[in-house]
Chain A
Amino acid sequence: MPPKKPQPIRNESKPKGDAVEGPLLQAVVLADSYNRRFEVLCLDQPRVLLPLCSTPLLSWTLESLALSKVKQVFIFCGVHADKIRDFVASSPYNSTLDIQCLSSKTARTAGDALRELDAMHVLDPEKPFILVQSPIISNYDLSKIVDAHKKRREVDKNFIMTMGIGRGGRRHPESPIMLVHPASSRLLHYVQQPLSPAPLRVTFPASIFLDPFPVDMDSYEVWSGPSASSSRGGFRDLGIDICEADIPALCTENFDYHDLRRHLVNGVLTSELLGKKIAVHLVGSEDDEEVKGDHRSGSGGKYVERVRDTRTFAEITRDMLRRWAFPLAPDLNDPSGVQYELRKGNVYIARDNVVLSRTTTLRGPLLIGPRSALNHNTLVNQSTLGADCSVGPNTTITTSYIFDDVRIGANCLLEECIVGKNVQIADGVKIGRGVLIGDGVKLGKGAAVPDFARIGRERYRPDNFDSDDEDEDEDDEVDDPRRLQVLGPDSVGFIWPQEEEEPPSDSEDEGEDPFEHPRNKRLLQLGRTLSNLTASSASLSTLSKASSSPPESPMSGASDDSLPDMPSLILDSGPPAAFYSEASASIARAYEEGHSTENAALEMKTLVMGYNAGIDRAREEIMKFLLGKVDASGKLGDVLTSATKVFSRWGGMVKEFSPSDPTNIALDAQLFSRA
């Protein structure tokens, strides 16, 4: 039967406050990302309204939540709150869900959002709610996590939060390392582990293992992200939390909680005063007891992902087109009501006046929105095109995500990019990998956009940009030489600085978010490959090894190299910084005042005892100092004589500190020279 056009019969509004049977499940969606990853695309609209497969992310999120039997949704909006309100008012979800938009201009972090949420008193303090931090795509019934959470709370009232954890998935630059007790699904420790620069060691606070010593310590497990080297999938944080009312209250009490993971989770876990616990819930782990009747969902294939950055945006789009999130697929369940025809090879074509030339080549998975027109000899490969797009002849579009109303000229080449709404691309434009083009940009004829460039309709504004001095720099942008050189004279748009060039955000806390490290942030971009990283990370990690924390012994160093993305689990985090300063001061004094090696070594040993530092650290420190005294500026012969001079005088001291294995000295020397 030929499916028909969607019916525009929609209920306008829904009387609020009618009794809903069953427990009212509430969810909070944070519409703002509190980071700048999508910023260039988000000039006119919030991130949650960006279209994924031609449907706003918010629609998919609401759909996922509705699938989880959520009845009431609070959308916490930051910027563009009016847009979200309009969208919600006109969306069909308005009739099936109770959606309330809360807006706040002042919230700058997720912690702020929770504080304001607490102040608004909209949540039911008796019941847990689902906190969704970023737009999610899920075919998993999240209410199962809620049920498990309630069950856990019956046993132990101190569980105030349950984090959803998924198995497997792809590698992602933002993945945590968790110490978990699986039997009670209690989370003991949570560390963020950026992929680059990869930290070499994970520190678990001793308090976990002491006071009293856990008898079931053998059953503790370390869960970390999926890695390239292991064939078994790892664990990933889904960004979906089941929170009790205590969580917003805690945020109110601790005004320095900003990041939910780094501050809130770690705060709760490390605070002994609080005595609260956090649980983890592995998605799909409850399937064993599930009734067999629910066969259509299958045993596997629970898909829960969130859009965190342009990289995941692309990945999730592809997954969606490959029907991983079934029944969330464009042809069956498109929340915006557009009907798509599914053709072989996961090719989705809207059933609304799409014009394809006979010479158009389509390689799935791809999606072409309503009323789009593709001219002859176009090649579309694993991409999505929004509504009302037109593509000129001989143009190739590969793994790109193009939003609505985009005009693309002839002989263009688009490769792995995201193109915003109303963008006009003239003939012969070449767009490189990872490029983000904001709404309303015009690219002139023959422009060649370099890889990973970001082009916005307005100029880039740093974090501390003050909108007052906006009009002053209005005129000097015209003669920006780089802009002209790259985009050509006909273009309308500004090249934004590369993400890694961006000045680091001025967060006042000393523990900078490791994921916001520029090197890690690059990896969040569309088009960056992580497989290259494993090759290059060896050099990266050895560099950081030498500079930050040298390995304790050759053994641990070797194991690190074999598993470059899995830091060695050394529970001893080394002596405090005071040891290093005292040690170097002591050696410097001995060197300048000409102490005997025996006396200097004795003083050093006292320090080692005092700080419980271990002689390896002391030897490293000595080597560092001595090698620093070697004059390495001259010719090779001069360097050698200078080194011989230093080590004939002070070499005995190093020997004192390497009782067993003299190769350690060589290793230390090597580390020093690398640093």
Chain B
Amino acid sequence: MVSQILLKPSDPNAKLTEALITSLRRREIVGSRNVALATAAVVQNIVRSVKFTTIEELIGLIKGVGRRLVDANPKELAAGNIIRRILRLIREEYSAAVQAHLSTTPSAPGTPDLGPETPGLHAPQNHYLSFMTDLAFSTPGSGPSSSLPLQRQTSLSNFVAMRHSRAQAQMERAGSALDLSAATSSLFTSPGRSDSADGRWSNTNLAGLSSRRGSDDFGKQAGRLKPVLVQAIDEVVNELETTHEDVAKGAKEHIHSSEVILTLGHSKTVEAFLKQAYRDRKFTVIVAESAPSYLGHSMASSLSASGIPVLLIPDSAVHAVMPRTTKLILGAHTVLANGGLFALAGALAAALAAKAHAKPVVVTTGQFKFAPAWNLYHEYGAADLQSPGAVLGFDGDGSVDGVEGVVPYYEYIRPELVNLFVTNEGDHSPSYIYRIIKEAYDDVDVEL
């Protein structure tokens, strides 16, 4: 997959990309979710308008964009995550189309008139991987089946041939999979319905396609896949947009009545989570103010606006109030593959205090923050050191030169300090994160 087409400078997409890169670089777009949404929007635009003949070209192009986005702000790993996710979807749609094409040769792909034919010839090759992905779905404790991600409705109805092939593949897989999730089995029973929930998990490796020769001429027409690809990215965007609600869905399972919850900063996920839980349970929230950003202030006022009793405390009191709390809920900036995470500065102190007092630490996060990165915490700069102006004040007295200010924005929290990750796709323990990451992205994309 060496072929790379570059965006022409005159292309409006080049400008969009450049704008996103500069605003990432200048920290005009910050926060995992904002970055992820902006990235998805740019990639969608590129897919929509760029002319490509083979799928490798498109993938190469998106990879190139992704690489530059990651370089622009290496601390916002969400950009890379979204790129990897989209790449995965593209490959998958493509391979599904190839399967359809192969199974229906010689008719052109995309002709929606073909009935289900025997797709058996391709199924075994992704057998092994599909087994694993099914496992991901049936993770114990994963939410109700309605919360399963990426309900792929429209994309498949546009592309009937593919749907058929995919449904057949599903059937094949179902026979051998150890454990079938509810959604998969429902799909199995009604293959005519178009909500196959798992399209993106059919982990077909392009390179591994046994029927290379057949896909060659098909590959020339990869441009026709465009509407499907655009829709696939749409789903990513939708998923991002509903992340908070999806994470919050299981909130009442995690919070009991009259609990005292400690949190810090202003994580939108935590905020939605607590608000959702408060519909069913009555509890108190203690918010650490999280100097020097003082995000805790806005968190406290937002929670109290929806009726939740809130205590706002200075960061120094976190250890002191810990015996009185029952749980520490944190938001994450990035979850690393080892189950550790980067969170707002102050979170490490809180997590250590929770450990000392044997309080459970729950991290609420969307899965788009799961990054296939391991060694980031070895880097000093990963803490995203800010200007000392927030703590020292350039406009105060003239003691600028005497004092060295170190103001990290993030802190790395070791996996052993975390008890549970509550995500939009079920709850996981830190030791399981690597598995989810492995399944969510293609291995070839780990290095963009």
Contacts and interface: CB of A to CB of B under 8 A. Distances in A.
Interface of A: 1-4, 6-7, 9, 11-15, 63, 66-67, 95-96, 139, 166-171, 226, 228, 231-233, 284, 292, 295-296, 298-303, 318-319, 322-327, 331-333, 339, 341-346, 365
10 contacts: A3-B70, A3-B74, A292-B298, A298-B293, A298-B390, A300-B392, A318-B401, A324-B394, A327-B27, A333-B27
B9 A322 contact: no
Interface string B376-419: 10011100011111101111111011001101010000000000
A323 B9 contact: no
Nearest to A93: B22
Contacts, number: 152
Interface string B7-39: 001100011001100100111101000000000
Contacts of A226: 398
B337 to A, nearest CB: 10
A139 B10 CA distance: 30
A318 B401 CA distance: 9
Contacts of A341: 379, 381
A323 B387 contact: yes
B252 interface: no
B307 to A, nearest CB: 20
Interface string B50-89: 0000000000000010011011011001001000000000
Contacts of B381: 331, 341-343
Given A15-B10, A96-B19, A231 B397 contact: yes
Contacts of A7: 64, 67-68, 71
Contact of B400 (A9, A14, A169, A339): A169
A170 B401 contact: yes
A66 B22 contact: yes
A168 B22 contact: no
A326 B375 contact: no
A68 B354 CA distance: 43
Given A233-B398, A295-B293, A342-B380, A300 B393 contact: yes
Interface string B286-301: 0000001111011000
Given A15-B10, A232-B397, 18 more contacts: A1-B375, A7-B67, A167-B394, A168-B400, A169-B395, A169-B398, A169-B400, A284-B395, A298-B390, A300-B395, A301-B386, A323-B388, A324-B387, A324-B388, A339-B71, A342-B379, A342-B381, A346-B404
A326 B387 contact: yes
A1 B373 contact: yes
Contact of A95 (B18, B28, B393): B18
Contacts of B14: 11
Given A66-B26, A295-B295, A298-B292, A342 B18 contact: no
Contacts of B22: 66, 96
A327 B394 CA distance: 15
Q: Among the interface residues B295, B373, B385, which one has the most CB atoms of the partner chain A within 10 A? A: B385
Contact of A12 (B9, B28, B373, B389): B9
Interface of B: 6, 9-10, 14-15, 18-19, 22, 25-28, 30, 64, 67-68, 70-71, 73-74, 77, 80, 266, 292-295, 297-298, 371, 373, 375-376, 379-381, 385-390, 392-398, 400-401, 404-405, 407, 409
B73 A323 contact: no
Contacts of A67: 26, 28
A325 B26 CA distance: 11
A332 B73 CA distance: 7
A252 B28 CA distance: 39
B92 to A, nearest CB: 24
Given A1-B371, A168-B393, A292-B298, A13 B398 contact: no
A351 to B, nearest CB: 11
A167 B397 CA distance: 9
Q: Among the interface residues B6, B10, B379, B381, which one has the most CB atoms of the partner chain A within 10 A? A: B381
Contacts of A296: 27, 30, 293, 409
Contacts of B10: 15
B289 to A, nearest CB: 12
A298 B387 CA distance: 9
A323 B386 contact: yes
Contacts of A342: 379-381, 385
A-B pairs with lowest CB-CB distance, top 7: A301-B389, A167-B395, A342-B381, A326-B387, A168-B395, A11-B9, A298-B390
B42 to A, nearest CB: 15
A298 B27 CA distance: 13
Contacts of B27: 296, 327, 332-333
Contacts of A96: 18-19, 22
Q: Among the interface residues A1, A170, A171, A341, which one has the most CB atoms of the partner chain B within 10 A? A: A1
A168 B380 contact: no
Nearest to B384: A332
Nearest to A337: B71
Nearest to B374: A1
A233 B397 contact: yes
B207 to A, nearest CB: 22
A659 to B, nearest CB: 45
A365 B387 CA distance: 14
Contacts of B375: 1-2
Given A12-B9, A169-B394, A301-B393, A319 B26 contact: no
A224 to B, nearest CB: 13
A332 B394 contact: no
B293 to A, nearest CB: 5
Contacts of B396: 168, 232-233
Contacts of B294: 295, 299
Given A169-B395, A344-B380, A1 B387 contact: no
A11 B80 contact: no
Given A7-B68, A95-B18, A226-B398, A303 B9 contact: no
B211 to A, nearest CB: 34
A335 to B, nearest CB: 9
A343 B383 CA distance: 11
Contact of A301 (B297, B388, B409): B388
Contacts of B68: 7, 9
A171 to B, nearest CB: 7
B73 A139 contact: no
Contact of A300 (B19, B297, B394, B409): B394
A343 B390 CA distance: 21
Contacts of B371: 1
Nearest to B376: A1
A299 B18 contact: no
Given A2-B375, A170-B401, A322-B404, A332 B25 contact: yes
Contacts of A228: 398
A331 B385 CA distance: 10
A339 B405 CA distance: 23
Given A3-B71, A323-B388, A326-B387, A303 B26 contact: no
Contacts of A3: 70-71, 74
A359 to B, nearest CB: 22
Nearest to A348: B381
Contacts of A14: 9
A3 B76 CA distance: 12
A170 B395 CA distance: 9
Contacts of A139: 387
A92 B389 CA distance: 29
A298 B397 contact: no
A1 B385 CA distance: 17
A673 B419 CA distance: 83
Q: Among the interface residues B385, B395, B400, which one has the most CB atoms of the partner chain A within 10 A? A: B395
Contacts of A95: 9, 15, 18
A298 B389 contact: yes
Contacts of A292: 297-298
Contacts of B392: 300
A7 B64 CA distance: 9
Contact of A333 (B26, B387, B404): B26
Given A9-B6, A166-B395, A341-B379, A323 B390 contact: no
